Amino acid sequence: MQEKRNERIAASVREFLLTSFICFALFASVTAQTTAIRAGKLIDPDSGAVLTGQTILIRDNKVEAVGNNLTIPSNAKIIDLTKMTVLPGLIDCHTHLADGTRDSEPIGVFRKTAAELALESVPNARVTLESGFTTVRDVGTYRALGDIALRDAINRGDIIGPRMYVAGAYVTITGGAGADTGLAPDITLPWDMHYGEANSPWEVRQVIRKLAHDGVDHIKVLSSGAVLTHGSNPKSQEFTLEELQAAVDEASHFGLRVESHAHSPEGIKNAIRAGVASVEHATMIDDEGIALAKQHGTYLDMDIYDEECIQEEGKNGSMPKDFLEHDAALGQIQRDNFRKAVAAGAKMSFGTDAGVCPYGTSGKQFAFMVKYGMTPMQAIQAATSNAADLLGHSNEFGSIKPGKYADIIAVTGDPLTDIRTLETVQFVMKDGKIYKQ
């Protein structure tokens, strides 16, 4: 008797659960927004192929399916991009979006409050996204942690911008490439202008522990002097190998990768030997450096376009004179070394140092990457699949595949025959939401 009763109860529980599940599934299918994009041409950077007649099904913020014989649900919103070339959202691996209004004189930062700088950065984020860059790796800011605030405001939906992965501060030697320099030595800087200063392996670890606690996504160190810093020499070495090894090791305890700014050959090689994920600029990389980068699988993130803006501002007098002296001949050296690195088969990512050139113009670097030895497909891969790999997020973006974020852009024409089409992106979707059409 008792046994039969228990069976009846179990049966009704099963029935209740099944009905609830059906109701939930029906409810979910009614509420989930489905979008179908019909793509004329679809570039797949993973395979290096161009696909035709594809439909991309998007549910909420993720790609659900891609193919040429997909059934489009009757309630789906259809976006017709049959006359365009569709690509995954672009990724710039070297930006400085949180530095406010662009100013080639870094001393300008001392005339602004942190709040001014943050609010001035809001349009930087918007124009970056609208130009087709749905993700950026932002690699340092004059005032620490402003980039974290910008990232979080975008993620909350308070302001419009790309998905940001941020460094929080420059981890730099005192007076080094990432320091706020140019003031008299008896002027005391506020905390957020020397937050990342470190002068021994243990100080490097201490700074990285603070940044990890603050919620950064990666660590930016500087292992040589800089072009656009007062009192700096790009040909010098800054952090030692020991300090760089401490940085990579400490960052790894928090699951963080490290990128290193480096112009000088020794600064580049020390960073690679220490195990950084990418070398930024890599201006004076020599043959040994290229071989080491290949051996360690280190990405080279070479900003070969911004020389145009440095030179132009030199001509119109708005670039500080010492910066132009640092820069002399380095622009061409970097471009020649970019060509060498591409020919040698080193791993290359797309990074522009956005902020040196106006925000929203990063797409102009593609033509230079092609001019200096890449195929158009390689240049696109540098800014999509390679960039996602460098950031450690290949499962989430970098190509248009089921399960990844619906980060999708489109251009008129074919970027594989005219790479400059990527300078004027006409359709931008990030996270399943359209920002430009």
Give the end-to-end CA distance of the chain in Å, rounded to a whole number.
68
Task: Please report how close the Cβ of residue 123 comes to Zn ion at its closest, in angstroms.
Answer: 19
| Distance separating alpha carbons of residues 132 and 267, to the nearest angstrom | 33
Task: Please report how close the Cβ of residue 281 comes to Zn ion at its closest, in angstroms.
Answer: 8
CB closer to Zn ion out of 132 and 351: 351
Which among 377, 437, 388 has a CA at the least distance from the CA of 132?
437
CB closer to Zn ion out of 382 and 409: 382
Q: Which residues in this chain contact Zn ion in the complex, by CB under 5 A?
A: 353
Residue nearest to Zn ion (CB): 353
165 neighbors 137 (Cβ within 8 angstroms): yes
CB closer to Zn ion out of 44 and 353: 353
Residues 6+ apart with CB under 8 A from 5: none
Task: Please report how close the Cβ of residue 303 comes to Zn ion at its closest, in angstroms.
Answer: 7
CB closer to Zn ion out of 163 and 281: 281
CB closer to Zn ion out of 226 and 409: 226
Task: Please report how close the Cβ of residue 382 comes to Zn ion at its closest, in angstroms.
Answer: 17
Task: Please report how close the Cβ of residue 168 comes to Zn ion at its closest, in angstroms.
Answer: 14
CB closer to Zn ion out of 105 and 396: 105
Task: Please report how close the Cβ of residue 220 comes to Zn ion at its closest, in angstroms.
Answer: 8
